[in-house]
Structure 1
C-alpha cells in the first residue's frame, strides 16, 4: 500500500523541520561561543607558559631589573645559587621565576596584580602563596646569618669611632638603636597585644645600625603593644654589647634608659649649656637611625604596606628584608627610585615622648662619662 503525499503536505513538513532548526540555533550558537572562549583561554595559557619558560628575568635591562626587584642581577644570581640547592626542580616554574616573584612582592608589597601582570613572572595568587611560604623561611636561614651580624673586627669598630668623632664630636660610638612599627593584619589570636598606641596592629621591631646604615641587629618578634625600651632590655643584642663593648657607646633616644654603654640625651637641658650642645650633636648623630629605617622601607615597599600574614611569618619577611638591605648597602646597589620614606608615625611619637620627658620633674641619672663627653664638645 503506497502512501501518497501531496505537494502541500511535503512543503509543510519541510517548513516544520526548518523551524525546529531555527529554534535550536541560539543554543548551538551559545555553545559555539563558549567553546571559542575556552580555546582562546587555552591558547593564552600556553602562550603565558611559553613566555615564562623562554623569557628569563635576567634578560631585562640592568636599570629596569633594579627598579623591579630592588636588587641587581649579581645579587639575584647569588641568592638563586644559594636557594636552589635546597629546592626541588619544578616542571612548570623555574627557580629563577619563583625567586623573581618573591622579590617583586618584597619590592612592591602587591602580589595580586603586580606579580600576575608581569609577563616575566605571571604567577597566580594561589601559586604565589605556596612559593613565598617556601622561599622566605629558606632565605632567612641562608641570608640572615651572614647578612645581619653584631660581630665587627677592630678595623670596622675604628671606622665607626672615627666617623662619629669627626662629624659629631662624639667619641667611642659603636651603633645607634631605635624601634619602628611594621603594620600587620589583625591576628586571629591575642590580637589585643598587637594593637599599638598609634592605633593599628603591628610588630614593633628593635633595629640596631652602624654609621654606614647597615643593620647590625633586628628583633621583630614583639607585638606592637611593647615599647622600645622593653624590647631592648630583653634583647640578645643588649646582652652581647654589655659583655663585649662595655667601653663603647650605643646612641639611643629619650625612650631608653641611660646606661654605662647607652648614651641618651639630657632632660630639660637649657640653651647655651654643655648639656644642650650634647643634645644637639646627639640628635644629629641619631638621624642615621631614621635614614636607615627610611631606606629599608623605601627599598622594600612591602614594609610600608600592611603585611597580610601571620605574625611569625611577618617577622621572617622583616628579617629577610633587613638582610637584603645590608647586602645591597655593601654592594652599593641603588634603590631604583629616588623616593624617600619618612615614618611620620614614628617621628611624631618620638617628639611627643621627648616633650613629655622634657617637662618631667625627675632629675637625670648621673653619668660622669656623658658629662665628660658633653664638656669636651666645642662651643
Structure 2
C-alpha cells in the first residue's frame, strides 16, 4: 500500500508541472531517488510516459475563432464557380474545372452521397456536392491546400480535412470495384491491344516505376532520398496498352530501385503464380515460338515473362536493334507518363501539408 501511495504522489506531482520538458526532468530526479528499488523505478517510468502523452494532447493548438473573420462577408461566394459551371449549358467548362462532365459527377455523387452529407451543425455547412468538388479540384489540378483555401474562401485546415475525408470515402467505395486482379481475359485483351495499337506482338503489359516528390517524413533519415536528389515515394505500376493500371505497389522508399521493389512486391508473387493465365506461346514469323511477356526497362532482370530492351552496345552496332529499343522504350514510357500526367493524384497526395 505504501508503494501505491508513493507512486500516486509522484503522478500527482508530474501532472501539476507546466510542460513535458519539466516533467521529463522530474522523472529523472525521481528515478535517481528510487534507483535502489527497481520495481518502483519501472512503475514510475511507465506512469511518467503516460503523463507526458496526456500533456502533449492537452498542448494541441485549439481553434482561435469559429470562422475566419475575412470569410464572413463572402460566405455567399463560396463555390460560386462550381455551382455556375454545374448548371451551365457548356459541360466543357465543368470538365475543365473538375475533370468530370456534369452527368459523370452527379453519378459519382449519388453513389457516395450518404457518406458525404453531414447533419447541419455549422453556421455555413459544406454540402456533399461541394465536398466532392473540392476533392476533384484538388486532385485534378495538383493545387495545394493553401491555394484551395484562398480559391474557395475556406480555411486551409478545413480544405485538408475535406480532401482527406472524401478521398477515404472514395477509396473505400470504389477500390475493389476498379482495381480487379488481372484474369486470363484481361491478359488476352491487353495483348491484342498491344499488337493493334502499338504494333508490338506478344506484349501484355508495361512495368515501370515513378518517383513522386514528397516532404521528408519525420525521423525517417535518408531512406526516402533518391538518386535524383529529392525525397520521394515510388509507384510501381503494371499498365495495359490503353494506359489503364492493372496492378500497382505504392509507398516504397525513394532510395529503393524498381527491380528491388518488384522483387519484394506481391505483384511479382501474383504474376509468377498465375503465368498460366497468360496467352499460350505462339510462333512469331521466322523467329520461332515467343512467349507473351511484360515490357520493362533496363533496371529489371530478364525473364521469360519480363522482357527488357537490348543494351546500349548492341543498339549502337545495329540500326534495327536501335529502332526496336526506341519503339520498346516509347511504349513503356508513354504508358506510365500519361498515367502520371492525367491526374496529379500521387503528387498532391504525397505533399500532405499546407
| TM-score by shorter chain over 0.5 | yes
Q: Count residues with an aligned counterpart.
A: 265
Quote the offset at 1:292 in angstroms. Answer: 3.0
SS at match of 1:226: coil
Residues 185, 306 of structure 1: 8 Å contact kept: no
Does residue 97 of structure 1 match 2:96?
Answer: no
Name the SS of the counterpart of 2:177 in structure 1. Answer: helix
Structure 1 segments unaligned to the other structure (5+ residues): 1-39, 311-379
Deviation at 1:64, TM superposition (A): 1.6
Q: Is 1:74 equivalent to 2:117 in the alignment?
A: no
Distance in 2 of aligned mates of 1:307 and 1:235: 20
Alpha-carbon RMSD: 3.0
Shift of 1:153: 5.1
Q: Deviations over 1:11-39 (max 9, x none)?
A: xxxxxxxxxxxxxxxxxxxxxxxxxxxxx
Unaligned 5+ segments in structure 2 are: 1-68, 279-291
User: Which structure is larger by alpha-carbon Rg, 1 or 2?
Assistant: 1
Task: Provide the residue aligned with 2:35 in structure 1.
Answer: none
Higher mean C-alpha displacement, 221-230 vs 103-112: 103-112
Q: Answer yes or no: is 1:83 the counterpart of 2:112.
A: yes
Q: What residue in structure 2 maps to residue 284 of structure 1? A: 327
Alignment of 1:297 onto 2:340: yes
Q: Please name the residue that 2:39 is paired with.
A: none
Give 1:180 deviation, angstroms: 0.4
Task: Name 1:179's counterpart in structure 2.
Answer: 209
Residues 85 and 93, structure 2, Cα contact 8 Å, conserved in 1: no
The reply on whether 1:260 has 2:290 as its aligned counterpart is: no
SS in 1 for 2:73: helix
1:303 Cα deviation after fit? 4.5
2:270 paired residue number = 240
In structure 2, C-alpha distance between the alignment counterparts of 1:162 and 1:309, rounded to whole Å: 40
1:226 maps to which of 253, 256, 272:
256
Residue 250 of structure 1 aligns to a residue in which SS? strand
Whether 2:177 is the aligned partner of 1:146: answer yes
Q: Cα distance 1:57–1:167, how it changes in 2: closer, same or farther (>3 A)? A: closer
Per the alignment, residue 136 of structure 1 pairs with: 167
Whole-angstrom distance in 2 between the partners of 1:298 and 1:168: 20
Offset at residue 199 of structure 1 (A): 0.6
Does the 8 Å contact 1:52/1:122 carry over to 2? Answer: no
Map 1:1-379 to 2 at 5 A. 44-48=73-77, 55=83, 58-60=86-88, 61-91=90-120, 92-112=125-145, 114-118=147-151, 121-152=152-183, 154=185, 156-166=186-196, 170-246=200-276, 247=278, 248-267=292-311, 268-269=313-314, 277=320, 280-301=323-344, 303=346, 307-309=350-352
- Flag the structure with more relative contact order, 1 or 2, with Cα contacts below 8 A and sequence separation at least 6: 1
Matched-pair contact (CA < 8 Å) for 1:181–1:205:
yes
CA distance in 2, matches of 1:42, 1:270: 62
TM-score, normalised to structure 2, is 0.65
- 1:56-107 C-alpha deviation (Å, 9 max, x unpaired): 6522431121111222223322332232233452430101101111111112
Counterpart residue number, 2:58? none
| Contact 1:183/1:305 (<8 A) preserved | no
Secondary structure of 2:351's partner? coil
SS of residue matched to 1:204 = strand
With normalisation by structure 1, the TM-score equals 0.61
SS in structure 2 at match of 1:193? coil
CA distance in 1, matches of 2:349, 2:240: 27
CA distance in 2, matches of 1:65, 1:213: 24
Report the CA distance shift for 1:299/1:270 in structure 2 as closer, same or farther (over 3 A): closer
The offset of 1:284, in angstroms, is: 1.2
